[in-house]
């Protein structure tokens, strides 16, 4: 039942309406007055950092004020050093509904830099927020009645975004390599991707010192689709080490953390976000020195990604900071150069060939032409386990966006059509089995609703 290409206009409209209504329904006004969108109503009841940015991009097509509030609420959790935490906790969630929560992070107890008004985690997620801010501001500027509000919003949010980017470019890249270091696989957003298997295998957990913890996620999702218990022990151990060091990145420079990886996907998104920040800076009439700084971050990021390029892989490889070794794994992160954009023709050709090869979209066993998180050709590929094979609509959106920027619109349209068809059949699932199309994880994932709105390019009420 092909939906998108042949469907009557009304079916696209219906899907858009469902995405819009669902996204609004996932929103809450918390008892601390913040208005934000839960990443998923049951499985992820807090405000997640990169989810929220994508959600705001979707919301900007629905209601500009809601989109503005979404990002304000997230930035209310910004730390004194500029870091934007991976979760701003929802004060109205009962203890134990999601873990780790405030009882684990204890941000204020461990760091004087943590915000006073809201509870947050202490790690970060991919820095896609300036893209959301730019989207919101552009939408506002495109209409006479919201232009002044949009300009004021740009002036309000730009300095916060700049501080966030300065944190990433300095604290997370003390070497100035152009590639950001993550200290936890949760920071990548692709939590248990096989990219992290090597570095994770070197994390030695001391069971006697490990905090005791519960797995509420298993109440809402099938255990065989979620990270394993061993993975969870390592997640907690890494987070505990960072926390106990006062969430200080000085430990990075000393090589004193159990996990430290140069993440090419995170770094590529940072390049794209810096391009948005630069445009935002101009709208906010920022000083010339800041514009020059942002331009240097962009150039340095592209240089870092060029160094991470591996000819055999036809893509970029992460690097384990602790061993200096590149992480040779076939995942969606290989497309970091495509995502960062402005590739020289030979590399663009190689990335497009890889995307259409048997390693990804050309694999004969795929149920539909959507990009899996891990190549079916990668040993250990698992079509149902978190980030080890399933396809995520939001990452497919990142890819289609990059393809359009690279001038490969027909391929973008193919992926978009297949994604929308799957969503219209199964709802706004978190991820799906790429070999069967079966929806998995949360069934009401807010960033899937946002991706749908962005793909449909509609949203007015």
Q: Does 51 bind ligand 9WN (CB under 6 A)?
A: yes
Rounded alpha-carbon distances, angstroms, from residue 233 to 122, 205, 421, 451: 18, 7, 38, 32
Which of helix, strand or coil describes residue 75? Answer: helix
For residue 113, the surrounding DSSP H or E stretch is: none
Q: Segment near ligand 9WN (CB under 6 A), from 17-25, 48-56, 106-114, 194-202?
A: 48-56
Within 8 A by CB and 6+ apart from 156, the residues are none
State the binding string over 66-105 for ligand 9WN (x if CB under 6 A, else -): --------------------x-------------------
Q: Does 401 bind ligand 9WN (CB under 6 A)?
A: no
Residues belonging to the active site: 191, 430
User: Considering the rule CB under 6 A, would residue 263 count as an interface residue with ligand 9WN?
Assistant: no
206-225 binders of ligand 9WN (CB under 6 A): 217
Residue 119 is a binding residue for ligand 9WN (CB under 6 A): no
Measured from the CB atom, the residue of 70 and 354 that comes closer to ligand 9WN is 70
Q: Of the listed pieces 185-193, 335-343, 401-409, 417-425, which binds ligand 9WN according to CB under 6 A?
A: 185-193
Query: Which of the ranges 45-53, 127-135, 254-262, 406-414 carries the binding residues for ligand 9WN, by CB under 6 A?
Result: 45-53
> Is residue 266 a contact point for ligand 9WN (CB under 6 A)?
no
Centroid of chain to Cα 452: 16
- Region binding ligand 9WN by CB under 6 A among candidate stretches 46-54, 71-79, 195-203, 376-384: 46-54
Q: Which of 165/225 has CB closer to ligand 9WN?
A: 225
Q: Is 421 in the site for ligand 9WN (CB under 6 A)?
A: no
Write the CA distances from 309 to 275, 317, 348, integer angstroms: 21, 7, 12
Q: Strand pairing partners for 28?
A: 36
Is residue 189 involved in binding ligand 9WN (CB under 6 A)?
A: yes
63, 191, 233, 438: which one binds ligand 9WN (CB under 6 A): 191
Nearer to ligand 9WN, 191 or 290 (CB): 191
| Count of positions on this chain that bind ligand 9WN (CB under 6 A) | 10
Task: Indicate left, alpha or beta for 295 from its phi (over 0: left) and psi (-120 to 50: alpha).
Answer: alpha
Chosen residue from 4, 19, 44, 73 binding ligand 9WN by CB under 6 A: 44
Is the preceding omega at residue 100 within 30 degrees of 0, hence cis?
Answer: yes
Helix (H) or strand (E) segment spanning residue 109: helix 107-110
User: How far apart are CB 429 and ligand 9WN at their closest, in Å?
Assistant: 12
Tell me which of 39, 269, 355, 412 binds ligand 9WN, using CB under 6 A: 39
Tokens representing residue 185 in the block:
């696989």
Which part of the chain contacts ligand 9WN (CB under 6 A), choosing from 47-55, 135-143, 298-306, 353-361? Answer: 47-55
For residue 48, state whether it binds ligand 9WN (rule: CB under 6 A): yes
How many residues does the structure list for the chain? 461
% helix, strand, coil for the chain, step of 5: 50, 5, 45
Least gap, CB of 66 to ligand 9WN (angstroms): 19
Q: Which residue has the tokens 């006697």?
A: 208
C-alpha to C-alpha distance for 332 and 370, rounded to whole angstroms? 11
Note whether 50 binds ligand 9WN by CB under 6 A.
yes
Neighbouring residues of 94: CB distance < 8 A, sequence distance ≥ 6: none
Question: DSSP assignment of 152-193, as one string?
Answer: HHHHHHHHHHHHHHHHHHHTT-TT--SSPEESSHHHHS-TT-
Residue 41, Cα to own-chain centre: how many angstroms?
Answer: 18
Kindly list the residues in this chain that would bind ligand 9WN in the complex (CB under 6 A).
39, 44, 48, 50-51, 86, 186, 189, 191, 217
């Amino acid at each position: 039942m092909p939906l998108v290409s042949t469907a009557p206009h009304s079916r696209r409209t219906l899907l858009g309406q469902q995405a819009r209504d669902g996204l609004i329904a996932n929103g809450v006004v918390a008892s601390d007055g913040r208005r934000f969108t839960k990443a998923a109503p049951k499985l992820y009841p807090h405000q997640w950092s990169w989810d929220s940015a994508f959600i705001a991009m979707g919301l900007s097509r629905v209601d500009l004020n809601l989109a503005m509030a979404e990002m304000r609420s997230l930035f209310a959790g910004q730390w004194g050093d500029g870091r934007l935490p991976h979760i701003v906790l929802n004060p109205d969630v009962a203890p134990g509904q999601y873990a780790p929560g405030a009882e684990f992070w204890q941000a204020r107890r461990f760091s004087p830099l943590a915000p006073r008004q809201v509870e947050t985690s202490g790690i970060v997620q991919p820095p896609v927020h300036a893209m959301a801010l730019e989207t919101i501001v552009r939408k506002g500027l495109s209409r006479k009645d919201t232009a002044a509000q949009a300009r004021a919003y740009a002036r309000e949010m730009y300095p916060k975004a700049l501080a966030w980017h300065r944190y990433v470019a300095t604290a997370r890249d003390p070497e100035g390599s152009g590639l950001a270091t993550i200290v936890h696989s949760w920071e990548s957003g692709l939590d248990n991707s096989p990219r992290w298997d090597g570095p994770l295998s070197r994390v030695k957990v001391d069971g006697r010192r490990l905090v005791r913890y519960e797995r509420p996620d298993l109440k809402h999702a099938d255990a065989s689709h979620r990270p394993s218990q061993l993975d969870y022990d390592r997640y907690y151990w890494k987070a505990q080490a960072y926390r106990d060091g006062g969430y200080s990145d000085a430990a990075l420079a000393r090589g004193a953390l159990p996990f430290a990886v140069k993440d090419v996907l995170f770094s590529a998104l940072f390049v794209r976000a810096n391009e948005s920040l630069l445009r935002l800076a101009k709208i906010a009439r920022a000083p010339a020195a800041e514009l020059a700084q942002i331009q240097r971050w962009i150039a340095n990021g592209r240089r870092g990604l060029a160094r991470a390029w591996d000819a055999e892989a036809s893509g970029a490889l992460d690097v384990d900071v602790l061993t200096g070794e590149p992480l040779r794994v076939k995942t969606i992160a290989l497309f970091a150069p495509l995502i960062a954009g402005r590739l020289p023709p030979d590399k663009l050709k190689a990335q497009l060939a890889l995307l259409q090869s048997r390693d990804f979209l050309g694999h004969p066993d795929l149920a539909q032409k959507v990009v899996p998180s891990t190549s079916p050709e990668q040993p250990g590929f698992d079509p149902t386990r978190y980030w080890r094979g399933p396809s995520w609509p939001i990452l497919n959106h990142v890819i289609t966006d990059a393809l359009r920027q690279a001038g490969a619109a027909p391929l973008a349209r193919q992926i978009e059509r297949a994604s929308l068809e799957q969503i219209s059949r199964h709802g706004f699932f978190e991820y799906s089995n790429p070999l069967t199309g079966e929806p998995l994880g949360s069934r009401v994932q807010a960033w899937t609703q946002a991706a749908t709105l962005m793909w449909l390019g509609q949203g007015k009420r």
